[in-house]
């Protein structure tokens, strides 16, 4: 909520739960609400105080719950509304807030609205979605969907096409229709009245369409996302209306998500005076290694680019809005595999990345499992993959007669299933995640990397994380102090200061496998936190991090 004195969410530490993979309680192999309730002591022990719960609504699961068929119901595989209420109550009792995923750019094609909509051109629900005539025997335009081929699907029943920016089972909702907007607001009030503390808004940057539906001169997905799909003409009108009608009436937090929100337009969404959203997940960093054809067209990224992007974002937002900081989530590879070294320096680099998250300016969001340094997974068989994006990618590569081994390599570093394997709780069968067969295989490294082992080892990533969350909470300067990147041109070191009033801390991060000399002119005080026991005054060891006064 905007214009409010007590913005608690600026001090929060967020933790993302992907329910399917967190904890199964009944042996069906699918994580569920009861499983989360059973792990509540663990969650509380982390020192996090704001949970983002992935979608738990009724869904045919074409895109793991991001295709909702009933916004008012809990999917039976996750439990019941009674379980949900219990989870919310138990989190609140421990001072932990919870935000829901709000997926309203599209619904499932199995939502009653769409089932009605497709029946006839004069059906009262026709206008809930985008239906258009084809052009020259093909779809209305040349837009590509995120996950499979054309963004339009032909429906024989009425001889028209409907728009789907994601899979064919995720038709885009027509926000131009005021009745649709009112339905959505009503549903939001239902959850807020239950006491949820806000929403993470899925691809909110895409809800206003460019109704001319012009062909894009460039066929690549990323070009279309930035120039045709995102930041449409009425986006801010819609968000202001949503804020006025719903958000402003509750003490909640909203985090928008969506491709196409660059640093240049971010403040339009989250500027203090805008009355729209509180924060956004900036995806630019997540897309930095994408080539023109997207994520499976990977290009190398240098430390200089990484730092510049983060600094530019910080400066673009300044104190006119508020940033959110994250390095992985359910859509992108494990942070230690992507930005650290998940081999020899897994422990050191995971601690360094957690330190980064917890010392940057902005509300940090940690994805489940990264607090124990879980890594990407390398399934050797295509059959072990579950994500619709990955499956469609394999299909496309096969159809084009391209190299499937290369495709598998790409999936090993870029695919979304890397972060969707079950949480590794202990070294019993299936890592303590389930007594049955998990919906997706567990990462075979669970025997060494798991919560139980980490709990027993005082030097573990997990213990370090707990110390770091407490450290952030007790250091106001880390919450809202200014941020300055002190050596933007250094190829391996990321050194920045945080400063507020007469308090100042320095954060030193060695993003490399080699020793690095500490710049001599830096006048550092005590070491307040580090991932090494002994700290050399002259140099940083591989992946060493240090917070100094
Ligand atoms: O992961 C991506 C594709 O490679 C991203 O571009 C992703 O599609 C984008 O960040 C939007 O993600 C969100 O909406 C999708 C859903 O599949 C993702 O899980 C969700 O986070 C459609 O609802
Ligand atoms: Ca279950």
Reply yes or no on whether the pLDDT at 52 is more than 60. Answer: yes
Question: Superfamily for 178-323?
Answer: Glycosidases (3.20.20.80)
Work out which ligand 1 atom sits closest to the CA atom of 329.
Answer: 21
Structural tokens at position 42:
């663990």
Q: Both ends of the chain: CA-CA distance in Å? A: 34
Rounded to 10 degrees, what is the CA torsion of 172, 176, 177, 182?
90
% of the chain surpassing 90 pLDDT: 96
More confident residue, 480 or 394: 394
Q: Residue 4 — pLDDT band, cuts 50, 70, 90?
A: very low
Residues taking part in catalysis: 202, 257
Structural tokens at position 18:
């992907």
Q: Residue 6 — pLDDT band, cuts 50, 70, 90?
A: low
* Residue (of 528, 477, 525) closest to 504 by Cα position: 477
- Span 69-93, average pLDDT: 98
- Span 116-140, average pLDDT: 98
Position 456 scores a pLDDT of: 98
Q: Return residue ranges of the chain for CATH 2.60.40.1180.
A: 481-548
User: Which residue from 19, 20, 146 has its CB within 8 A of the most atoms of ligand 1, so it is best to mutate?
Assistant: 146
Dihedral angle sign, alpha carbons of residues 458, 462, 464, 470: negative
Reply yes or no on whether the pLDDT at 112 is more than 60. Answer: yes
Question: What distance in Å separates the CA atoms of residue 187 and residue 102, rounded to the nearest whole number?
Answer: 10
Q: Return residue ranges of the chain for CATH 3.20.20.80.
A: 178-323
Structural tokens at position 73:
């119901």
Position 2 scores a pLDDT of: 45
Q: Ligand 2 centre and the CA of 77: distance in Å?
A: 6
Work out which ligand 1 atom sits closest to the CA atom of 166.
Answer: 22
* Residue (of 421, 423, 425) closest to 441 by Cα position: 421
Residue 179, SS3?
Answer: helix
Query: Cβ(164) to ligand 1 under 6 A?
Result: no
Work out which ligand 1 atom sits closest to the CA atom of 106.
Answer: 23
pLDDT tens per residue, range 234-286: 999 999 999 999 999 999 999 999 999 999 999 999 999 999 999 999 899 99
Query: Cβ(411) to ligand 1 under 6 A?
Result: no
Structural tokens at position 58:
């009724």
pLDDT tens per residue, range 320-367: 999 999 999 999 999 999 999 999 999 999 999 999 999 999 999 999
The alpha carbon of 136 is separated from its chain's Cα centroid by a whole number of angstroms, namely 39
Query: Cβ(278) to ligand 1 under 6 A?
Result: no
Specify whether the CB–CB gap between 281 and 327 falls below 8 A.
no
Query: Cβ(146) to ligand 1 under 6 A?
Result: yes
Q: Return residue ranges of the chain for CATH 3.90.400.10.
A: 112-163
Nearest CA residue ID for atom 1, ligand 1: 331
Reply yes or no on whether the pLDDT at 31 is more than 90. Answer: yes
- Span 440-455, average pLDDT: 98
Query: Cβ(22) to ligand 1 under 6 A?
Result: no
Nearest CA residue ID for atom 19, ligand 1: 331
Question: What distance in Å separates the CA atoms of residue 413 and residue 431, rounded to the nearest whole number?
Answer: 23
User: Which residue from 202, 226, 258, 326 has its CB within 8 A of the most atoms of ligand 1, so it is best to mutate?
Assistant: 202
Q: Ligand 2 centre and the CA of 312: distance in Å?
A: 43
Specify the CATH architecture of the domain 112-163: Alpha-Beta Complex (3.90)
Residues lining ion ligand 2 (Cβ < 5 A) are 24, 26, 28, 30, 32
Reply yes or no on whether the pLDDT at 170 is more than 90. Answer: yes
* Residue (of 258, 451, 279, 255) closest to 370 by Cα position: 451
Question: What distance in Å separates the CA atoms of residue 55 and residue 486, rounded to the nearest whole number?
Answer: 40
Q: Any idea what DSSP says for residue 145?
A: P
- Summary mean pLDDT of the chain: 96
Q: How many CA atoms lie within 13 A of 261 on its CB side?
A: 28
Q: Residue 293 — pLDDT band, cuts 50, 70, 90?
A: confident
Query: Cβ(203) to ligand 1 under 6 A?
Result: yes
Position 26 scores a pLDDT of: 98
Position 3 scores a pLDDT of: 45
CATH number of 481-548: 2.60.40.1180
Work out which ligand 1 atom sits closest to the CA atom of 66.
Answer: 23
Specify whether the CB–CB gap between 480 and 503 falls below 8 A.
no
- Span 44-54, average pLDDT: 98
Global pTM exceeds 0.75: yes
Q: Ligand 2 centre and the CA of 65: distance in Å?
A: 15
Q: Any idea what DSSP says for residue 423?
A: P
């Amino acid at each position: 909520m905007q214009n409010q004195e007590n913005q608690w969410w600026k001090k929060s530490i967020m933790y993302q739960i992907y329910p399917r993979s967190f904890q199964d309680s009944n042996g069906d192999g699918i994580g569920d609400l009861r499983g989360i309730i059973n792990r509540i002591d663990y969650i509380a022990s982390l020192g996090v105080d704001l949970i983002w719960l992935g979608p738990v609504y009724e869904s045919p699961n074409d895109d793991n719950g991001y295709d909702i068929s009933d916004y008012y119901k809990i999917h039976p595989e996750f439990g019941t509304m009674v379980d949900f209420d219990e989870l919310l109550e138990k989190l609140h009792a421990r001072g932990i807030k919870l935000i829901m995923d709000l997926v309203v750019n599209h619904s499932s094609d199995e939502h009653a609205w769409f089932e009605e909509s497709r029946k006839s051109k004069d059906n009262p629900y026709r206008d809930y979605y985008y239906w258009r005539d084809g052009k020259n025997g093909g779809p209305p335009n040349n837009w590509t969907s995120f996950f499979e081929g054309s963004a339009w699907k032909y429906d024989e029943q009425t001889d028209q096409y409907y728009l789907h920016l994601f899979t064919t089972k995720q038709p885009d909702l027509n926000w131009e229709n005021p009745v649709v907007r009112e339905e959505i607001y009503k549903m939001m009030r239902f959850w807020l009245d239950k006491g949820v503390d806000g929403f993470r808004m899925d691809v909110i940057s895409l809800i206003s369409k460019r109704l001319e539906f012009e062909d894009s001169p460039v066929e690549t997905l990323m070009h279309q996302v930035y120039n045709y799909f995102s930041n449409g003409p009425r986006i801010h009108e819609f968000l202001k209306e949503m804020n006025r009608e719903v958000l402003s009436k509750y003490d909640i937090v909203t985090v928008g998500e969506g491709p196409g929100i660059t640093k240049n337009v971010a403040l339009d969404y989250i500027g203090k005076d805008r009355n729209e959203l509180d924060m956004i997940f900036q995806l630019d960093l997540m897309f930095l290694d994408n080539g023109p054809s997207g994520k499976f067209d990977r290009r190398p990224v240098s430390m200089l680019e990484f730092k510049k992007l983060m600094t530019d974002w910080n400066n673009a937002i300044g104190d006119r809005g508020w940033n959110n900081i994250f390095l992985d989530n359910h859509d992108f590879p494990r942070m230690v595999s992507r930005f650290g070294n998940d081999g020899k320096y897994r422990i050191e680099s995971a601690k360094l990345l957690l330190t980064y998250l917890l010392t940057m300016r902005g509300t940090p969001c940690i994805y489940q499992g990264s607090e124990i340094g879980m890594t990407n997974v390398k399934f050797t068989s295509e059959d072990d993959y579950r994500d619709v994006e990955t499956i469609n990618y394999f299909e496309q590569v096969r159809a084009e007669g391209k190299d499937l081994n290369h495709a598998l390599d790409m999936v090993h570093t870029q695919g979304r299933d890397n972060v969707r394997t079950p949480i590794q709780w202990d070294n019993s069968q299936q890592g303590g995640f389930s007594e049955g067969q998990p919906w997706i295989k567990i990462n075979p490294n669970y025997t060494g990397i798991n919560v139980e082992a980490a709990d027993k080892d005082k030097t573990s990533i997990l213990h370090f994380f707990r110390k770091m969350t407490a450290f952030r909470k007790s250091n106001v300067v880390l919450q809202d102090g200014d941020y300055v990147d002190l050596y933007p041109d250094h190829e391996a070191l990321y050194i920045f200061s945080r400063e507020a009033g007469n308090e100042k801390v320095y954060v030193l991060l060695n993003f490399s496998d080699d020793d690095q000399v500490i710049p001599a002119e830096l006048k550092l005080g005590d070491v307040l936190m580090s991932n090494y026991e002994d700290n050399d005054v002259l140099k940083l060891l591989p992946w060493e991090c240090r917070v100094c006064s």
